Amino acid sequence: MFCYQCQEAAKGTGCDVIGVCGKDEEVSNLQDLLIYSTKGIADIVVKGGLDIASLGKTNEIVLDSLFKTITNANFDPEAIRAQIRQNLEIRDDLRNVVEAEFHDAATFTVSTDASMDAKAVSVGVLATENEDVRSLRELITYGLKGYAAYAQHALNLGKEDTDLYAFTYEALAATLDDALTADDLVALTIKTGEYGVKAMALLDAANTTAYGNPELSKVNIGVRNNPAILISGHDLNDMEMLLEQTKGTGVDVYTHSEMLPANYYPKFKAYENLVGNYGNAWWKQKEEFASFNGPILFTTNCIVPPKGETVKRIFTTGAAGFPGSTHIQADENGQKDFSQIIEMAKTLPSPTEIETGEIVGGFAHAQVFALADKVVDAVKSGAIKKFFVMAGCDGRMKDRDYYTEFAKELPKDTVILTAGCAKYRYNKLPLGDIGGIPRVLDAGQCNDSYSLAVIALKLKEIFELNDINELPIAYNIAWYEQKAVIVLLALLSLGVKNIHLGPTLPAFLSPNVAKVLIDTFGIAGIGTVDEDIKLFMA
C-alpha cells in the first residue's frame, strides 16, 4: 500500500504498512483499484462523448466511488470490492457502445478476489513515476473526492448538476492522460476548485431549501436522562430521517462532530428530541462513544476504527462502512429504516454527562447578512480590526494545539470565521464578543466554507473593493482530509491569496508543485503562534 492523501500520512510522507487512520493494506489497495476503475469509466465517457444527462445512475455511482475512498469513510473491504464489481459492470456496458482506443483502466479484467488484489497493487499512487505529475494528479483526484461527497449529500436531497458530473469525468480522465503537461494539470487543479465552489453552492441550496437557513443558535452540550442515539458525519437527509423516526419513541438524538451544525437549522430545531451536541471533533470518539452508552450512526467520515464491543453499537450508512458494524442501505426511494438503531438505544443506558453549557453558532451567509449593518459599522469604527478564517479540519496530532493557542492569543478586536470540525479547537473557549457579535462565528460544516466565501464577496461589494484580498480577512486554515483539499482549491479559484495551511503542508505536494502554489498563490505553512499573529496583524 501507499497512501498520502491526508494530513496524518506517516512520517509526513505516506503510509506504506498500515494507515495512521487504521486503514489496512487490503482496503488501501482496493481503494486504489476503485479509483482506477472509476477513472476507466471516465475514459470511456470522455472518449465516447457520451451524453452525461442520460447516464443516470452511473453519475451517482461515480460520486459514491470517489466518496468511499475519502479518509475515514469506509474501512470495509467487502463494500469496496462490491463497488469495484459494480463499476466494472457499468464500465463494460458503456465500452460496448463506444469505439475508441481505451486506457487500461477502461479495459482491465479481474475475475476473482485474488486477481482483484493482484491488479490493485499495480495501479496505486506510485504507478505515476514523475513526482510532479503524480502530485498534480493526486491533488486533482483528492479535490474531486472532496466535492463528490458534497454532491452526494445534495443529490440525497434531490439536487444535482450535470455540468458537475461532466467536469468530474473530464478531470478523472485527464489524470490518466500522459500527454498532459504539468502546466495543463495546474490549470485543471484550479478548475477543480471552481467546480468545488459549484458543488458547495449546490449543497448549500439543497440544505437551506430543505431545512431553512441556519440561524444564531445556542446548542446544549449537556445531556438528558433518556436513551439516545448519536449521529455523526455530514448528511442532513439522514439527520432528518433519524429525527422523524425517533420522534415520540422516547429516544433522544445528539449530534457528534460535523453533525453539530444540524442544530442551527430551523427545521431540525423544531424536534423536541434533538437534545444538542455530545463531545468534540471526530478523533475523540473512542472515549466519547464509551461514555455516550447508546448506538452511533455514521452518515460519512470520520470513523476511528472501534475496538471491542463498540463496533456493535456503530451503524453506518451512505458511503461510510466498517466491518462488523451494521450498514443501513437506502431503499429504491432513498428511504432508510433506522428502527434497529432505535430498538438498540432503548436497551442501553442514557448518556453520561461529560460537560455542560452551550455552544453558539449558526453564522452561515443568511445570518451574517442579517447582521451586516452591525458588522460593517464595527469594521468602519475599528471595533473589528480583522477577520480570521480558521475553517477546516481537526485531527489528533499534538501540534494542532497551535490553533487553540492562536485563537486565545488573537487580539480582542478580531473575529474568527469558522466551518468544519477545526472549530472544536476553540469553540468552547470564553472568547467573548464585540458589541454583541461573537468572536467565533461558526458557519457550519466544512462544506459551509462556501458561506465564508459568500460573506467575503459580500463584504468586498459593500466596501467597494476591486480585489477580495484587500479585505481585512486573513486565512489560517487547518486541513486533514480531502474535503479540506477541495475547500482550499475553491478558495484559490476565487482568487484568495496568502492562505496559511497547517499543521503541516500536504505530503502529496512535490517540492515543485508546492513551489507553484507558494509563488502563484502565496500559500504558506504555519510558524509559532506569536510570529504568525504578528505577521497576520502587520
Asked if 305 touches ligand SF4 (CB under 6 A), the answer is: no
DSSP code at position 160 = -
For ligand SF4, give the closer residue by CB, 6 or 274.
Answer: 6
269 marked ligand binding residue = no
β-pair type (414-418, 440-442): parallel
β-pair type (358-361, 217-220): antiparallel
Half-sphere exposure of 392 (CA within 13 A, CB side): 29
Give Cα 75 distance to the centre of its chain: 17
For ligand SF3, give the closer residue by CB, 238 or 481.
Answer: 481
302 marked ligand binding residue = yes
To the nearest whole angstrom, how small is the minimum distance from the Cβ of residue 505 to ligand SF4? 14
Q: Which amino acid is at 147?
A: Y
For ligand SF3, give the closer residue by CB, 136 or 421.
Answer: 421
For ligand SF4, give the closer residue by CB, 8 or 288.
Answer: 8
For ligand SF3, give the closer residue by CB, 242 or 422.
Answer: 422
286 marked ligand binding residue = no
CB 71 within 8 A of CB 51: no
What the block records as the C-alpha cell of 405 is 493557542
To the nearest whole angstrom, how small is the minimum distance from the Cβ of residue 301 to ligand SF3? 5
For ligand SF3, give the closer residue by CB, 128 or 504.
Answer: 504
To the nearest whole angstrom, how small is the minimum distance from the Cβ of residue 487 to ligand SF3? 9
CB 532 within 8 A of CB 526: yes
393 marked ligand binding residue = yes
Q: Which option in ligand SF3, ligand SF4, none does residue 125 bind, with CB closer than 5 to 8 A by kind? A: none
Asked if 420 touches ligand SF3 (CB under 6 A), the answer is: yes
Q: Which option in ligand SF3, ligand SF4, none does residue 257 bind, with CB closer than 5 to 8 A by kind? A: ligand SF3
To the nearest whole angstrom, how small is the minimum distance from the Cβ of residue 5 to ligand SF4? 5
Q: Tell me the residue number closest to ligand SF4, measured at CB.
A: 19
Asked if 132 touches ligand SF3 (CB under 6 A), the answer is: no
Which residue in 65, 71, 301, 427 binds ligand SF4 (CB under 6 A)? 71
CB 104 within 8 A of CB 150: no
Any residues with CB less than 8 A from the CB of 390 and at least 6 apart, and which? Answer: 403, 406, 407, 416, 417, 418, 422, 423, 426, 476, 477, 478
Asked if 501 touches ligand SF4 (CB under 6 A), the answer is: no
Which residue in 168, 237, 445, 451 binds ligand SF3 (CB under 6 A)? 445
Binders of ligand SF4 among 13-52, rule CB under 6 A? 15, 19-21, 23, 28
Q: Give the position of cell 459492470.
A: 89
Q: Which amino acid is at 537?
A: M
DSSP 356-367: -SEEEE--SHHH
DSSP 169-208: HHHHHHTT-TT--HHHHHHHHHHHHHHHHHHHHHHHHHHH
β-pair type (274-277, 217-220): unpaired
240 marked ligand binding residue = no
Asked if 8 touches ligand SF4 (CB under 6 A), the answer is: yes
Binders of ligand SF3 among 473-502, rule CB under 6 A? 480-481, 483-484
Q: Which option in ligand SF4, ligand SF3, none does residue 365 bind, with CB closer than 5 to 8 A by kind? A: none
Q: What's the distance, Cα to Cα, between the start and end of the chain in Å?
A: 45
For ligand SF3, give the closer residue by CB, 223 or 484.
Answer: 484
Detail the DSSP E strand segments found in 408-499. 414-418, 433-434, 437-438, 440-442, 473-478
To the nearest whole angstrom, how small is the minimum distance from the Cβ of residue 136 to ligand SF4? 18
What the block records as the C-alpha cell of 517 is 502554489
Binders of ligand SF3 among 197-256, rule CB under 6 A? 234
Binders of ligand SF3 among 293-332, rule CB under 6 A? 301-302
Any residues with CB less than 8 A from the CB of 498 and at least 6 apart, and which? Answer: 469, 474, 475, 521, 522, 523, 524
To the nearest whole angstrom, how small is the minimum distance from the Cβ of residue 197 to ligand SF4? 25
- Which x/- pattern over 21-60 shows residues binding ligand SF3 (rule: CB under 6 A)? ----------------------------------------
For ligand SF4, give the closer residue by CB, 226 or 504.
Answer: 504
Asked if 484 touches ligand SF4 (CB under 6 A), the answer is: no
Asked if 278 touches ligand SF3 (CB under 6 A), the answer is: no
β-pair type (296-298, 228-232): parallel
Q: Could you give the dihedral angle defined by the CA atoms of residues 518, 126, 128 and 152, in that order, rounded to the nearest 10 degrees?
A: -70
Neighbour count for residue 97 (Cβ, 10 Å):
9
**Closest by CA position to 255, among listed 444, 452, 112:** 444
DSSP code at position 523 = -
| Chain residues in the site for ligand SF3 (CB under 6 A) | 72, 234, 257-258, 282, 301-302, 393, 420-421, 445-446, 480-481, 483-484
Binding residue positions for [4Fe-4S] cluster: 3, 6, 15, 21
| Chain residues in the site for ligand SF4 (CB under 6 A) | 3-6, 8-9, 15, 19-21, 23, 28, 71
